[in-house]
């Protein structure tokens, strides 16, 4: 761990100057307590750095949570093993999953499926649903859809050749819209108060104001949507895997965790709003998931409860190159080589998800050695993504 100053601690051994400068600007906000923690996967983000843990007293920065509120991962360990996959065409399973779950930005279900009905009913009963209805009236058909970018669904094998089902997604279009509305309201509120900001995306809301209360209501609703969205997709992945293998999937272990969210937590003896933007909670004994990139390892971990990190850890590999830079830098031939032996989408659209567009996941995990303990190492055999 590197102590950059009293308000910024850093666990990233790979850190661009622009990312460090952005984190320093955020750490200088007057309501940060006790300090900002920069995770090993840190990279430049909107307003606040992706891969940062931001504790705030009496205020919250909507852009420090991000636009994909509640984004996170879910994994299920099954009782199947690699032997159950031998002789089977995994591209068939890839197709089954891709047909069962809407992929890509703007792709949703045609109607609310039976499995989603109780989840939609729960969301309809929560405070915040009026905001969701106003922002995206068709949000119920978004439940159970993946999205694009670095979101994925994978079938993987662990170190003992056991089959895991793993996915990564968030609150979809409705969460993005709610976040964008409140980021804009925070900017308007700061302007109205005459507050000067080093970056307009560091605009914040003060606790006790109607604007703050409205954001927290929307935040909690979207976080729950994201959690249920992963559950709904996992039900479909489980169903399709069982159909493919000709036997029901038994869930031996289940983990579901956010990495873009904010919660009230107590650190260093004081209650703060802890915003993890590209970071997971890693309290002592707490299970978590840290995916790599396409074609690389992912990890099932247990938190060490590191106090200085605000009991947090990285959420993935973290980008090394922007999407536009990756598309110019990497070739389809190289991507094909890196994905050898994996059933995937075979599309030029995934060049910006090339493994080398991200930090080496092994390096990230080395940097996180005092934050989490690795329990399982996963290697994907099926990778499903939206373009």
Tell me the per-residue pLDDT of 118-171, one tens digit each, with 9 for 90 and over: 999 999 999 999 999 999 999 999 999 999 888 999 999 999 999 999 999 999
Q: In the prediction, which pLDDT does 105 show?
A: 87
Q: Which helix (H) or strand (E) holds 48?
A: none
What is the CA 356 to chain-centroid distance, rounded?
19
Q: Compute φ and ψ for 351, nearest 5 degrees.
A: -60, -35
Look at residue 349 in the predicted model and tell me its pLDDT.
Answer: 82
- Cβ-contact 31, 57 below 8 angstroms: yes
Average pLDDT, integer, range 50-54: 97
What average pLDDT does range 8-29 have in this prediction? Answer: 96
Mean pLDDT of the chain: 95
Measured CA to CA, the distance from residue 274 to residue 340 in angstroms comes to: 41
Question: Residue 321 — very low, low, confident or very high, per pLDDT cuts 50/70/90?
Answer: confident
**Is 37 buried (19+), middle (13-18) or exposed (0-12) by CB count in 10 A?**
buried
- Number of domains present in the structure of the chain: 1
What are the two backbone dihedrals, phi and then psi, of residue 305, each rounded to the nearest 5 degrees?
A: 70, 35
Looking at residues 360-374, what average pLDDT do you find? 96
At residue 7 the predicted structure's pLDDT band, cuts being 50, 70 and 90, is very high
Residue 320 is predicted with a pLDDT of 83
Q: Which pLDDT does position 1 carry in this prediction?
A: 93
pLDDT of 257 reads 96
From first CA to last CA, the distance across the chain in angstroms is 36
Per DSSP bridges, beta strands 36-43 and 8-10 are parallel
Q: From CA 294, how far away is CA 166, in angstroms rounded?
A: 13
Q: Distance (Å, rounded) from C-alpha 26 to C-alpha 49?
A: 8
Q: What is the pLDDT of residue 207?
A: 97
Which pLDDT score, from 0 to 100, does residue 115 have? 94
- Taking only the tens place, the pLDDT of each residue in 64-119 is 999 999 999 999 999 999 999 999 999 999 999 999 999 988 899 999 999 999 99
Beta-strand runs (E) in 332-371: none
CATH number at residue 205: 3.90.1860.10
CA angle 320, 10, 35 (to 5 degrees): 130
The whole-number pLDDT of residue 350 equals: 86
| Contacts made by residues 246-253, CB under 8 angstroms, sequence distance 24+ | 249/76, 249/78, 249/79, 249/80, 249/165, 250/78, 250/79, 251/76, 251/77, 251/78, 252/76, 252/77, 252/78, 252/79, 253/75, 253/76, 253/77
Check residue 148 and give its pLDDT: 87
The dihedral through the CA atoms of 243, 248, 254, 258 has a sign that is: positive
Domain of residue 105, residue span: 2-384
Tokens found for residue 333: 């031939």
CB contact at 8 A, 361 and 292: yes
Structure confidence by residue, pLDDT tens digits, 197-232 = 999 999 999 999 999 999 999 999 999 999 999 999
**Residues identified as active-site:** 315
Q: Is the pLDDT at 283 greater than 90, yes or no? A: yes
Give pLDDT tens digits for 228-254. Answer: 999 999 999 999 999 999 999 999 999
How far apart CA 301 and CA 333 sit, in angstroms, is 33
- Please tell me the distance from the alpha carbon of residue 310 to that of residue 214, in angstroms, as a whole number: 26
């Amino acid at each position: 761990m590197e102590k950059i100053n009293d308000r910024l601690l850093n666990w990233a051994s790979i850190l661009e100057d622009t990312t460090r400068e952005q984190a320093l600007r955020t750490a200088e906000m007057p309501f940060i307590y006790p300090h900002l923690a920069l995770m090993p996967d840190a990279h430049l983000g909107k307003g606040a750095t992706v891969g940062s843990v931001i504790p705030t007293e009496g205020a919250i920065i909507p852009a420090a949570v991000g636009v994909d509120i509640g984004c996170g991962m879910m994994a299920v360990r099954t009782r199947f093993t690699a032997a159950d996959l031998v002789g089977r065409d995994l591209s068939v399973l890839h197709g089954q999953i891709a047909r069962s779950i809407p992929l890509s930005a703007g792709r949703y279900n045609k109607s609310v499926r039976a499995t989603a009905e109780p989840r939609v009913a729960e969301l309809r009963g929560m405070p915040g649903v009026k905001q969701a209805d106003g922002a995206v009236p068709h949000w119920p058909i978004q439940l159970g859809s993946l999205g694009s970018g670095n979101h994925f669904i994978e079938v993987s094998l662990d170190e003992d050749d056991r089959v895991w089902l793993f996915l990564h997604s968030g609150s979809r279009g409705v969460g993005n819209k709610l976040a964008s509305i409140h980021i804009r309201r925070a900017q308007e509120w700061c302007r109205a108060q005459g507050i000067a900001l080093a970056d307009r995306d560091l605009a914040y809301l003060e606790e006790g104001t109607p604007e703050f209360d409205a954001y927290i209501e929307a935040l909690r609703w979207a976080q729950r949507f994201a959690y249920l969205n992963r559950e709904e997709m996992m039900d479909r992945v489980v169903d399709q895997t069982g159909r493919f293998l000709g036997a029901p999937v038994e869930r031996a272990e289940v983990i579901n965790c956010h990495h873009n969210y904010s919660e009230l937590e107590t650190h260093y003896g004081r209650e703060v709003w802890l915003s993890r933007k590209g970071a997971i909670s890693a309290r002592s004994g707490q299970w978590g998931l840290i995916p790599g990139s396409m074609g690389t390892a992912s990890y099932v971990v247990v938190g060490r409860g590191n106090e200085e990190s605000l009991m947090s850890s990285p959420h993935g590999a973290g980008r090394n190159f922007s999407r536009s830079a990756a598309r110019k830098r990497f070739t389809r031939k190289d991507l094909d080589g890196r994905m050898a032996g994996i059933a995937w989408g075979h599309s030029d659209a995934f060049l910006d998800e090339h493994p080398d567009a991200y930090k080496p996941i092994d390096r990230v995990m080395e940097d996180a050695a005092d934050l989490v303990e690795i329990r399982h190492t996963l290697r994907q055999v099926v990778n499903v993504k939206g373009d």
